[in-house]
Structure 1
Amino acid sequence: MLDENRRPFMVVVVVLAVVLIVIGGVVLFRGGGSETTLTVQSIPNDLTLKLDGHEIPANGEVKIKAGTHTLEGSRRGFQSYTQTFTSGSDRLSYKMFLYANSAEGREWAKNNPEQQREAEAEAGRRYDEVQARLKQKYPILSQLPYVGDGFQATYTKSKSDPTNPEAISIVIEVFGPQGRTKALQWIKGYGWDIDTLDIIWTTGK
C-alpha cells in the first residue's frame, strides 16, 4: 500500500522536474535582461525586414531585449536601408520606408499612390529632423551661404566622413590675398571653434 501511495507522488515530482527544466531552458535560450515591444511599419509593405540578421514581419510587433539592434529593409527596385537603435524597457516604434531607385520601384510607387504619399511625407519629416540636428551640431549653418570680403562660404557633405549623413564640410572659396584671413576672422567673430569644423579651402578665379 505504501508503494502504491508513493507512485502518484513520484509521478508528480517527475512532471514538475520536467516542467522546471523546460522553463529553465526557455529562459536560458531567451537570455536575461529586460524586454520590450518594437512596432514596425514598412513601405513597401512587402519588403524584406531583418532584425539583427533574422527576418521578421515587415509590419506588426516583435519582442526585443534591451540593447543595441539593427534593422535592415530591402526590396528589389528600392534602395536598401539600415538603421541601428538602442532599446530599453519602453515600447518602440519605427517606420522602415524605402525609396524607389529603378523603373520597377517607380512602377510600384505609381500603382500604390497612398503608400507613396506616406513615404514622401516621411522623407520630408526625416529631412527636417536631420536639418535640425545639423543646425544644432553646426551653428555656422545659420549663416550659410555667406559672401564676405574676399571669400564665400557654403557647405557640402563631409569630406572626412562621407558616409555620415549628419556630417558636413564647410567650403570656403577664397578670391583675394586677404580672403583666407578674412574668413578666419569671420569664423572666430561668431565664436565658432575652427578645430571642430571640417573646412575645405578652394581658390576662386
Structure 2
Amino acid sequence: MEEESPRLWLLSGVVVVILVVVIGGYLVFRGGSQSKLTIQSIPNDLTLTLDGQQIAANGEVKVKSGEHTLTASRDGFQSYTQTVTAKGGDPLKVKMYLYSNGPAGRTWVQNNPEQALEAEAEAGRRYDEIQKRLQAKYPVMRELPYIGPGFKATYQASKSDPDNPEAISLKIQVFSPEGKTKALQWIEGHGYDPDTLDIIYTTK
C-alpha cells in the first residue's frame, strides 16, 4: 500500500495537469475567436473607422469577440455611429448609410439616385425598428398623441439624454391652470408612474 500511494499521487497529478491544459486551451481558443464583419456603406466613398482605426467603407473585416464601434462620416452628410457585438465567431452584417445634411450631400444625392433611394429605404426600416423598440420600452407611446382637458400629450427626443436615439421625453403642453394636474391624473389612470417618465411641461 505504501508503494502504491506515490504512484496514485503521481497519476492524479498527471490527470490534473492534462485537464488544466485542455480546459485552458479551450478557453484561450474560445476567447480568441474572430467573427467576419461584412460592411456595406452609402455613400461608398465615406470615411469609416472601426474602433478608431480607418478601414475600407465596403467589404469584410475580421473582429475579435466583444463590442466594436463603427463610425462613418463624409462631407455634406450626417455622421453615424453604430456599436456591434461579436460572439463566438458568428458572422455580422452592418449597413452604414449616411443621410445628406448639406450642399455637398445634396449634390451627391442628385448624381447617385439609385444609392440615394436605397439609403432612403434603409432609413424607413431603421425608423420602424426604432419605433418598435421605443414602444416596448415606453408603452405610454401607444396612447400618444392625446388631447385631454387643458393639456395635450406628445413625445419628443429625450431632454435628459439627447444623444440617445432610443430615449424620449413625454411632452405635456398645458392650456389651462388645471392642465398639469389633469395630465398627471391621465398618466396615472393608464397605469404609468410619472416618476419613471422624463416629462417636459410647456405652455407653447
Q: What residue ranges of structure 2 are gaps of 5+ in the alignment?
A: 1-30
What is the alpha-carbon distance in structure 2 between the residues aligned to residue 101 and residue 187 of structure 1? 37
Q: What residue number does 1:33 align with?
A: 32
CA distance in 1, matches of 2:36, 2:191: 44
Residue 46 of structure 1 corresponds to 45
Where do 1:63-142 residues align within 5 Å?
A: 63-89=62-88, 90-142=90-142
C-alpha separation between the residues in 1 aligned to 2:80 and 2:177?
A: 46
Cα distance in structure 1, aligned partners of 2:51 and 2:108: 27
Taking only the aligned residue pairs, the percentage that are identical comes to 67
Runs of 5+ unmatched residues, structure 1: 1-31
* 1:35 partner letter: Q
Distance verdict in 2 for CA 1:105–1:173, change over 3 Å: closer
Which sits farther off after the overlay, 118-127 or 146-155?
146-155
Letter in 2 for 1:190: H
TM-score by length of 1: 0.80
Which 4+ residue blocks in structure 1 deviate beyond 3 angstroms?
Answer: none
The alignment covers a number of residue pairs equal to: 173
Which deviations, in whole Å up to 9, do the C-alpha atoms of 1:151-204 show, x marking residues without a partner? 211111111111111111111122333322221111111111212111112246
1:164 aligns with 2:164: yes
Change over 3 Å in CA distance of 1:147–1:64 after alignment to 2? same
Q: Partner letter of residue 153 of structure 2?
A: A
Q: What residue in structure 2 maps to residue 186 of structure 1?
A: 186
In 2, the alpha carbon distance for the partners of 1:105 and 1:56 equals 22
Q: Which amino acid aligns with 2:99?
A: Y
Residues 33-75 of structure 1 show CA distances to partners (whole Å, capped at 9, x for unaligned) of 2211000000111111111111111111111000111101112
Find the aligned partners of 1:182 and 1:102 in 2 and give their Cα distance.
43
SS at match of 1:99: coil
The offset of 1:146, in angstroms, is: 0.7
CA offset digits 1:106-138 (Å, max 9, x no partner): 111111111111000011111111111111111
Q: Distance in 2 between matches of 1:78 and 1:175?
A: 39
Instruction: Supply the AA of the counterpart residue of 1:43.
Output: I
1-structure distance, mates of 2:175, 2:114: 50
- TM-score in terms of structure 2 length: 0.80
